Amino acid sequence: MKITGISGSPRKHQNSEQLVNTALGIAEDRGFEVDRIFLSEHTITPCTGCGGCADAGECTIRDAMPGLYSRLEDADAIIVASPVYFGCMTAQLKALFDRTLPLRKRGFLLSGKIGGAIAVGGSRNGGQEKTIQAIHAWMHIHGMIVVGDNSHFGGIVYAPAESDIMGMQTVAGTINKICDVLEMIRSDTQ
């Protein structure tokens, strides 16, 4: 089973990418296949609301997004990390989310996948819960099964991430919950 991690940060090698790497490292240790989508490596144009995906079933904008659709479809679970920018997710992550409408239009292709969220802010209460709530909303709209860190909403970290011991525990809790649910699903289908 495959878990795809998305870093919504436009900045390379920063907290969100490190948190995705940490989470996916735990998943690999538990025997899962992983895939990384770092938005610092892709240019995704915002949705223009043209309606082309409703007619053609695919987005009319030609950028990095068409190459990401199959990677999202192939995932059994998706964990999304974003820094908090002005109280919510990054514009880059919102562009990716908006551009997944064709996956919904072609039969809810993300439905039933497990989803979890991580947010990193400049302080303990820097907007992380609001950011996670926005990520969860995207997951719910696609019909995904949303999990938290086994006691709250997901991974809530303040920067610098590696020094936030409590926050790193919530990241581990979130990815472990994703892995637990995938293992339950796998055992039910065998």
- For 134-179, what is each residue's pLDDT tens digit? 999 999 999 999 999 988 999 999 999 999 999 999 999 999 999 9
Residue 118 has pLDDT above 70, yes or no: yes
pLDDT given for residue 186 in this prediction: 85
| CA 161 from centroid of its chain's CA atoms | 17
Residue 58 and residue 56: Cα distance in Å, rounded? 5
pTM score, two decimals? Answer: 0.96
Residue 96 and residue 189: Cα distance in Å, rounded? 31
Residue 47 and residue 95: Cα distance in Å, rounded? 7
Average model confidence (pLDDT) for the chain?
95
Residue 150 and residue 133: Cα distance in Å, rounded? 16
For residue 48, the tally of other CB atoms under 10 A from its CB is 11
Domains of the chain: 2-189 (3.40.50.360)
If pLDDT is split at 50, 70 and 90, which confidence band does 188 have?
Answer: confident
With H, G, I as helix, E, B as strand and everything else as coil, classify residue 111: coil
pLDDT given for residue 57 in this prediction: 75
| Cα dist from 156 to 27, 114, 116, 146, whole Å | 18, 18, 11, 16
Residue 190 has pLDDT above 90, yes or no: no
Q: What is the pLDDT of residues 57-108, one digit of tens each?
A: 789 999 999 999 999 999 999 999 999 999 999 999 999 999 999 999 999 9
Structural element, H or E, at residue 131 = helix 128-141
Q: What is the pLDDT of residues 1-45, one digit of tens each?
A: 999 999 999 999 999 999 999 999 999 999 999 999 999 999 999
Three-point CA angle 70, 12, 10, nearest 5°: 70
Backbone angles phi, psi at 7, to 5 degrees: -100, 120
pLDDT given for residue 187 in this prediction: 85
Q: Please, how many CA atoms are within 13 Å of residue 23, restricted to the half-sphere of its CB?
A: 40
